[in-house]
Structure 1
Amino acid sequence: MLHCNQDRTHAKRTTVMNKNLVPLNPEETLPYLNLVSFPPYITLAHLFHAPEGWRTPTRSFPQYALQYVVKGTAIYQIEDKTYTTKQGDLLMHQPNELNAIHTISGEPYICISLVFHFGGQAMPFQSWTRGHHEFGNYLNHPLEAMLTQLVSNYKHLEPERQLKSQGLLLQILAELTIPLRYRAHDSSPHANMNKMILVKNYMIEHFQKPMNYERLEGISGLSKNYLISQFKACFGMPPSQYQLRVRIQRAKELALQSGLSVSEIAQEVGYSDVHTFGKMFKKKTGISLSEYVSTLTI
């Protein structure tokens, strides 16, 4: 009898995952979300490879929608605003806002799409997110790994994987509100932002090399401890963590585009030991490099 019940649950969940819940009102989706009994309710979470010339008609959803650009460029129209999105950009629109997307000829477009709601209630942080669509660029940011893990967990049927997806979505939303919250209390630009951008650009150009704080102090004119605190205030993480994010992103690109082995990729991004690289990559992204490639090539 237990096996029969499990089979019925699996069949029901499979039917739900094949049903398009995005156009439905939040209350209408709840009977289908049998593995989840509390918000946030996720009705879509997938990695989408757009075909050449792809575009959507102008449409609106009665749920929240979040779009993260994994690769390429696309034009995103939300109400009367137009956004040219590139790799790392994240946009979100509110329920019932008119929106449309179209790709650019000759440009690839791969994105992570999330659609979700809170059971007909307003989203937490609503007062901070209202009126904001463009949330910034999260390339090499921890949020990028959260999105990948969310999609990976969501496509599994086990209740614990669905709970992980919900938890990750809440973490993502909390992360998105940080700059909005500070913007609400302080409209002046960060005093050391220009210096931090110089530091960031230097790190991107020399990401394979060991961290050299003396060089970063020379670029910024700031002491090591103050530099670290200012960098974290501007970019949400210390320089050492940012360097890891750059290395991870470069490893992803090489894995998809170069045909190099994992060992060769490790060397390219600054690791002489492939096992150290492998442990770092899985710790930071939640999956191995080979799993990441298989996720994008399905």
Structure 2
Amino acid sequence: MSNIPFTLHTQNSAAINVSLLYAASSKYEGEWSGTPHSHPYAEFFYVLRGEIDFQAEGEPYSLHEDDLIVINPDVNHTERPRGPGTVEYVSFGVEGLCMDPADSGMWSSCSLFHCRQSRSEVRFFLRLLLAEFENNLPNYEQLCCHAFESLLVFLKRAHPQELAVTAPKRTARECSAVKRYIDANFRQPISLDHLAEVSQLNKYYLAHAFREYIGLSPINYLNSRRVEEARVLLRDTSHSISEIAGIVGFSSQSYFAQVFQKAVGESPGEYRKRLRRGRQEKQE
């Protein structure tokens, strides 16, 4: 793996030190089984041909030709082709960089860009980046840096209000791990003390960092996952409201009703009745 260090200036004139680690092109015919994995660096993934089903932290993305997805450091992700056919893509790793929604102050697992309108320019710089990495000719580092910075310029032009390039947050990895833990275990009893023990962070620091990078406190995010699951059960099963409260992890029906009302704007019972009325009206 190569390592090309250089300084990148962000839109607020801050300088961050980054390193281009690798650039590679891949081609697959038929199917491959994607394995969930993560990297301690950002990964740029550009589709040259075909369609790919992509997941980052459990969130699905449908990638088509000339789509670019940037996966932030330490984000669990996987990719697999959508159906039979040939798939080609370019990927390259960048250490010291994170891409988040502009002005949101929130951590994001990845950013998706549709590059069809700037297809020729983006592909030109990708080809340049690949060729220079492969050939290692004199001063290839300068051309690689130029190609990468030019690619960022085209992304910023196409998405001026959506893109912020920053240095990775120091606790992004820990927050990402806590988020994954909640996603996998939200039906179990979970407290802030327990999450602090899992992440090996001070619980007050964890609460602050998680809110800063995810946008919700750990407990509010936990409750949002439980409410999300409860809405599915209210819609698709005949379980009682008290049973659903227990299934999704709430300690009492009254607390479940309180959290659900605040999140959805109606009680669990009202939500279920409204859905049933809608189904009956469609059948009539």
Larger fraction in helix: 1
For the pair shown, which has the larger CA radius of gyration, 1 or 2?
2
- Of Structure 1 and Structure 2, the greater strand share is in 2
- Normalised TM-score (structure 1): 0.45
